[in-house]
Amino acid sequence: MQRKRSAAAQDKGAADRVRLSYPSLDPTSGDDSLPPIILKSQLYTVLADKTAVDRDVEQLRQQGRARLFKLAFGADEDRHAPDSLMFTVSGAAAFVKSVVAGRQELLQMLKRKKYQEVLEKELMCVALRGSCLTPAFHVRDLQGRGLVACMDTTAGRLVRLAQRK
């Protein structure tokens, strides 16, 4: 039982690290343009055990310390059960638009590279046209979703497009 609490505390700490690494999601920054949302895929990049992350996030939700939303990306918006309710979160539309646009822009950038890879420090300097979120936000999201792989090299951390099976 004590182990589960420490895992939940780890997830809370991981969520804090993810949230504070993006200025637009830091509640102390005074920027109200986007809600403080962390994607579960980003937590997967901080903690290795995805099952434990899912379990502990659910535990945080039950304790009232976290709220889970299924954000509609693309065609998912129109598909929902007839007896379900749809709620809105202020600023969520801008967030979803930024996430989708940033994902697409970074994936296209990697696809255009000769070896479909680029140093992370080069990606961090890119000004994303369609997203108000930082490249770090999108790299962590893409890594957690399994769309890119990150590895350390002598030249620095490398971001590579994941091989499709």
β-bridge mates for residue 151, sequence order: 158
- Taking residue 54's Cβ as centre, other Cβ atoms within 10 Å add up to 14
Q: Which residues of the chain have pLDDT under 70?
A: 1-36, 70-89, 91, 165
| Residues present in the chain in total | 165
Task: Please report the pLDDT score of residue 5 as a whole number.
Answer: 47
**Percentage of the residues of the chain whose pLDDT score is greater than 90:** 23
Q: How far apart are CA 90 and CA 118, in angstroms?
A: 35
Say how many CA atoms lie within 13 Å of 67 toward its Cβ: 8
Q: Amino acid identity of 54? A: D
Number of domains in the chain: 1
Task: Please report the pLDDT score of residue 157 as a whole number.
Answer: 93
Structural domain boundaries, residue 154:
2-161
pLDDT digits (tens, 9 = 90+) for 77-113: 555 556 655 556 676 777 888 888 999 999 999 999 9
Conformational region of residue 102, where left means phi above 0, alpha means psi within -120 to 50, and beta covers everything else: alpha
Task: Please report the pLDDT score of residue 1 as a whole number.
Answer: 43
Our CA angle for 88, 131, 155, nearest 5°, is: 135
Q: What is the pTM of this model?
A: 0.65
Token pair 């994936």 in the structure block, residue: 107
Q: How far apart are CA 85 and CA 107, in angstroms?
A: 33
Task: Please report the pLDDT score of residue 18 as a whole number.
Answer: 63
